[in-house]
Structure 1
Amino acid sequence: MFNGRVVLVTGASSGIGEATALAFSAEGARVAAGARRADRLESLARKAPGEVLTLDLDVTDQESVRAAVAATVERFGALDVLVNNAGVMLNGPIAGADTAEWTRMVETNLLGSMYMVHAALPHLLKAKGTVVQISSTSGRVASAYSGVYGATKFGITAFSEALRQEVTAQGVRVVVVEPGFVATELISHNTDPAMRALARDMAAAMRTLQPEDIANAVVYAVTQPEHVAVNEILVRPTDQTR
């Protein structure tokens, strides 16, 4: 279905990013997989049924971002789909917070996805391609102890809608995917033991989503006919109440 088309996935070293890269490879795409933990990408490349280009990519570094896009286009000759998945979640109360963690979330989750879009957009316009933004239910409903994480995800939604309005008439589709609770390494990013314990308790109380569930949603959106734009997908575990 996706034979020969080129997909660039950020944050591909684990979780949703890895599952999405593998899902597109199974569909016949040529995949560029980027992450800071580039050593992990070799395992992904071995598992993938198709050709995978591994990229040492830090989305907070604009030079790294531009180099990754350039390497993808040099290797494969085009870029059809960008999946912005790289992100960190460092939850905790606002009072007494380490604001360096706020900066890290804003730079990775929000600015990083913006930098990737900026670098990739000329190629996506040429290809009439697709931008997929991995957001969160936290980008739809704010909650205590995830104020800054939620702010980055609300920001992704706003940026994505503005982008959609600018490029949809030129054939570029913009998709925002909002996962609920997914069994990934994301919760382990928290430096606050209380937040890690809370996340573990939440996970134990429900049948959590798996990374492959979100990857399937991404592939569904991107493989629709060109005249169909699936602009937003909210995917929660059945057991998740909010």
Structure 2
Amino acid sequence: MRSRSSPLAGRTVAVTGAARGLGAALSHEISRRGARVALLGHEKAALETVAESLPGPALAVEVDVTDLVALVAAAHTVRARLGRPSAVVANAGISEGGPFLASDPAAWRRVIDVNLTGSAHTARAFLPDLFDTAGYFLQIASLASIGAVPLMSSYCASKAGAEAFAHALRTEVAHRGVAVGIAYLNWTDTDMIRDADQYAALRELRAHMPPPVRRVHDVETVAARLVRGLERRRTAVYAPAWLRLTQPVRAALPPVVLRVSRRRLPRMEAAQPIEYTGPLGAGGLADQVASRRNA
């Protein structure tokens, strides 16, 4: 059932990383509210499958967010086929896990390229449209933007960078009528998180977090909350809502994480070697294939 009372009704919204997981769930929620949805990302067939399942007009555009020339061309295609976007969701993201020194330097850098540079490229490609529509740019961040944890150095660095980028961008474009929001997410039930749980160290990492933090949240519920924030052009959106409580105490988080890590990591290493995971989830593998093909 579509919602015709939504501010998104009749508008165009672009979502990156839309082939699966949160991006697909966001696309469904946005379409249900009467918007035209442009789905961007790897895997044209998967994007088209999601597009065909939406209740409203949709367009699947295969593009790598780290390729600015291709992304600018994709923005032109969206503009020509669906109209200028009134909102853009920079959702595309990948991850890897394991000890920093065990990581593949190229794979580590790729996480930064996709999660941070890809978000900046997305803004660069679509800002002319958002200036024209007085639109809204939503950066998907993470609890990792607020509090870094061991064994996820590339992901934490990329999400902290994406948060800082969004804060800076907001100050530059506010006078042009464009709003910039940041979505802070906890563990969400996507294939990336399910794959991470297959590795003992990452599974233990989450298991020893406080109960509210270690809970994995349903992707449809998270998407619905984010789209409500999108409708209201929120500066910050938290899923779940309690994550907002971490902001006032974020300076205290690194010493707490350090203390816990000093106690837990030696025990984990004594039990078995901590593995390097490589790209996590089907999205990570799809990005690996695409980046190798485009190299």
* 8 A contact 1:180–1:237 mirrored in 2: no
Amino acid at match of 2:227: V
Aligned partner of 2:217 in structure 1 is 209
For residues 222 and 71 of structure 1, the distance between their equivalents in structure 2, rounded to whole angstroms, comes to 23
**Residues 181 and 236, structure 1, Cα contact 8 Å, conserved in 2:** no
CA distance in 2: counterparts of 1:140 and 1:24, whole angstroms: 27
2:239 — aligned with what? 235
Return the offset for 1:199. 7.0
Equivalent residue in structure 2 for 1:67, among 73, 84, 87: 73
Deviation at 1:201, TM superposition (A): 5.5
Structure 1 pair 63–189 and aligned structure 2 pair: CA distance change class (3 A): farther
What is the aligned partner in structure 2 of residue 174 from structure 1?
180
Q: CA deviation at 1:177?
A: 0.3
State the match for 1:56 in structure 2: 62
Match of 2:228 in 1: 220
Cα separation, 1, equivalents of 2:127 and 2:75: 10
Q: Which amino acid aligns with 2:163?
A: T
Aligned to 2:102, the other structure's residue is in SS state coil
AA at the equivalent of 1:59: V
Q: In the alignment, what sits opposite 1:110?
A: 116
In structure 1, what residue type is equivalent to 2:237?
I
CA spacing shift, 1:199–1:41, aligned 2, 3 Å: farther
Shift in CA distance, 99/87, structure 1 to aligned 2, threshold 3 Å: same
Whichever residue aligns with residue 179 of structure 1, its letter is L
| Cα distance in structure 1, aligned partners of 2:60 and 2:208 | 34
2:35 partner letter = A
Structure 1 residues 75 and 231 mapped into 2: Cα distance closer, same or farther (>3 Å)?
A: same
Amino acid of the structure 2 residue aligned with 1:174: V
Report if the CA contact (8 A) 2:66-2:114 is conserved.
Answer: yes
Following superposition, the deviation at residue 117 of structure 1 comes to 0.2
TM-score by length of 2: 0.74
Higher mean displacement: 157-166 or 33-42: 33-42
- Following superposition, the deviation at residue 102 of structure 1 comes to 1.1
CA contact (8 A) 1:187 1:199 kept: no
> Which deviations, in whole Å up to 9, do the C-alpha atoms of 1:139-194 show, x marking residues without a partner?
1101111122101001011110111001112211111001101000123666x944
Structure showing greater radius of gyration is 2
1:70 CA displacement: 0.8
- Structure 2 distance, partners of 1:128, 1:55, is 24
Matched, 1:184 2:190: yes
SS in 2 for 1:103: helix
TM-score (norm 1): 0.89
Q: Is structure 2 residue 52 aligned with structure 1 residue 46?
A: yes
Q: Does 1:156 align with 2:157?
A: no
SS in 2 for 1:138: helix
Tell me, in whole angstroms, the C-alpha distance in 2 between the residues paired with 1:100 and 1:186: 19
| Residues 151, 202 of structure 2: 8 Å contact kept | no
Distance in 1 separating the partners of 2:52 and 2:83:
22
- The DSSP-based 3-state class of the residue aligned with 1:223 is helix
What is the CA distance between 1:197 and its match in structure 2?
Answer: 4.4
Please say if residues 188 and 196 of structure 1, whose CA atoms lie closer than 8 Å, have aligned partners that are also in contact: no
How much identity, in percent, do the aligned residues show? Answer: 32
Q: CA RMSD in A?
A: 2.5
Q: 1:18 and 2:50 equivalent?
A: no
Query: Is 1:130 equivalent to 2:136 in the alignment?
Result: yes
The number of residue pairs the alignment matches comes to 236
> 2:66·2:113 contact (CA, 8 Å) conserved in 1?
yes
Structure with the larger helix share:
2
